[in-house]
Amino acid sequence: MRFSIAERKIQPYNEKMNDEQKKDRDIHQRKSEFSRRSSLRETASHGKKTFPFAVYHGRIPEWLDGFPLHWHDEFEIIFVSYGAGIVTVQGSRFLCCEGDIVLIPPGAVHSILQNGDDCIAYYNILFSISLLEENPDSFCSRRFFSAFLDGAHLKSYHHKKGSTLNDVLFPLVKELCGLWEKDLSESALLVKARLFEIMHLIKGEVLSADESASSKNRAKRLKKILSYVEEHFSSRITVEDAASLCALSASRFMRIFRKETGMSFVQYVNDYRLESAGEQLLSSSGTVTDIAFENGFENISYFIHLFQRKFGCPPSEYRKRNKLRRNDSISR
């Protein structure tokens, strides 16, 4: 049994989880590792091929440290069921609290991060537009859904608890989370009906073609830079190299990157390297020094300093602590 949408307390990390909760945790950990180590474009399937709809429950920092910048072809709805965290969408950064809803259209670059020492529990609803757009030549498809397939974006992604749109979306989101726990052979029509209602409610949020074009250009530029970091993080990367990819001066590039990600380019590169190093510490027997160098750090003292600041402990302690945690999780 998954968590009820009304549940407000996060289960302690060391409390025994049932099979469904373990499944959600493992899915989020695999998805997060995929985003960090494979491609910033998430290609994992959600739901069934014949019914691309799924609901996941996530917790930060209990199940993972955060969900890094990535994008996918599905529409995503995030509902915060407890606590607070940072969600970024297309360069906008939001402090999301209990009851808030975030709408993420297909192709939008986004992330979920811990806010200081806060914990956050949330639900992800993911569905393919194809679930609703069975006939691409239909009036509804051409009038409402084609814009999302062409990369349209929204006027507002974050809808706080108590806002007008949140008030009407909340019961639909709550019902979808409940329907996911039932047999889809019995609830599939209701799922589609509620998704159609949601799309009807947000149709006024879709940006015009001209506004979306500007947003798409920014997204394309950001994806290009993120992919460049992904491919070259183990080598020396300079701000000048990244700026040249966008045909921008270094100073203008740094301003734009910070605006669109909420952090400096150097911070992002270091954070990406640290995430990779953290995974390598758990998946290999390499020395801390070797792992630091393999992930682009040229100074071991600097690496350890940044690592401890991010993860709260030195690399050797992180390896020991998390290997014990993983072994304990497997033995349950």
The tens digit of pLDDT for each residue in 114-140 reads 888 899 999 999 999 889 887 777 777
180 in the same domain as 37: yes
* Helix 315-331 × helix 265-283 angle, to 10°: 50
Do 35 and 143 lie in one domain? The reply is: yes
* Contacts with 201 (C-beta within 8 Å, 6 or more apart), sequence order: 165, 168, 169, 172
Q: Which residue would you say has higher pLDDT here, 291 or 203?
A: 291
Q: Are residues 238 and 201 in the same domain?
A: no
Looking at the structure, tell me whether residues 248 and 185 fall in a common domain.
Answer: no
Domain membership of residue 213 (yes or no) is no
Last residue of a domain, one of 208, 241, 267: 208
Domain containing residue 101: 19-208
Question: Do 165 and 286 fall into the same domain?
Answer: no
Last residue of a domain, one of 175, 208, 241: 208
Give me the pLDDT at residue 8, please.
Answer: 28
The two structure tokens encoding residue 58 = 């996530």
| 256 and 199 within one domain | no
| Residue among 114, 131, 134 at smallest CA distance from 122 | 114
* Domain CATH for 160: 2.60.120.280
pLDDT digits (tens, 9 = 90+) for 255-286: 888 887 778 999 999 989 998 999 899 989 99
Both 253 and 104 in one domain: the answer is: no
Provide the pLDDT confidence category of residue 20 given band limits of 50, 70 and 90: low
- Which residues on neighbouring strands pair with residue 104, listed in sequence order? 76
Q: How many domains does the chain have?
A: 2
Top-confidence residue, 32 or 189 = 189
> Measured between alpha carbons, how far is residue 293 from residues 143, 249, 273, 311 in Å?
52, 29, 10, 18
> What is the pLDDT at residue 262?
76
CB half-sphere exposure, 268, CA atoms < 13 A: 25
Q: What is the CATH number of the domain that holds 260?
A: 1.10.10.60
Residues 95 and 167 placed together within one structural domain of the fold: yes
Instruction: Say whether pLDDT at 331 is over 90.
Output: no
Residues 172 and 260 in one domain: no
Q: Supply the pLDDT for residue 216.
A: 66
Q: How confident is the model at residue 37 (pLDDT cuts 50, 70, 90)?
A: very low
Beta strand residue intervals within the chain, DSSP E: 53-60, 66-70, 75-89, 92-97, 101-104, 110-114, 120-127, 158-159
The answer to whether residues 284 and 160 belong to one domain is no
Give yes or no: residues 160 and 50 share one domain. yes
Whole-number mean pLDDT of the chain?
Answer: 81
Asked whether residue 210 carries a pLDDT value surpassing 50, the answer given is: yes
Residues 31 and 82 in one domain: yes
pLDDT in tens, 157-177: 899 999 999 999 999 999 999
Give the pLDDT score at 154.
79
Regarding predicted confidence, which is higher, 330 or 108?
108
Over residues 42-71, the mean pLDDT reads 86
User: Does a structural domain hold residue 27?
Assistant: yes
Q: What is the pLDDT of residue 286?
A: 92
pTM: 0.67
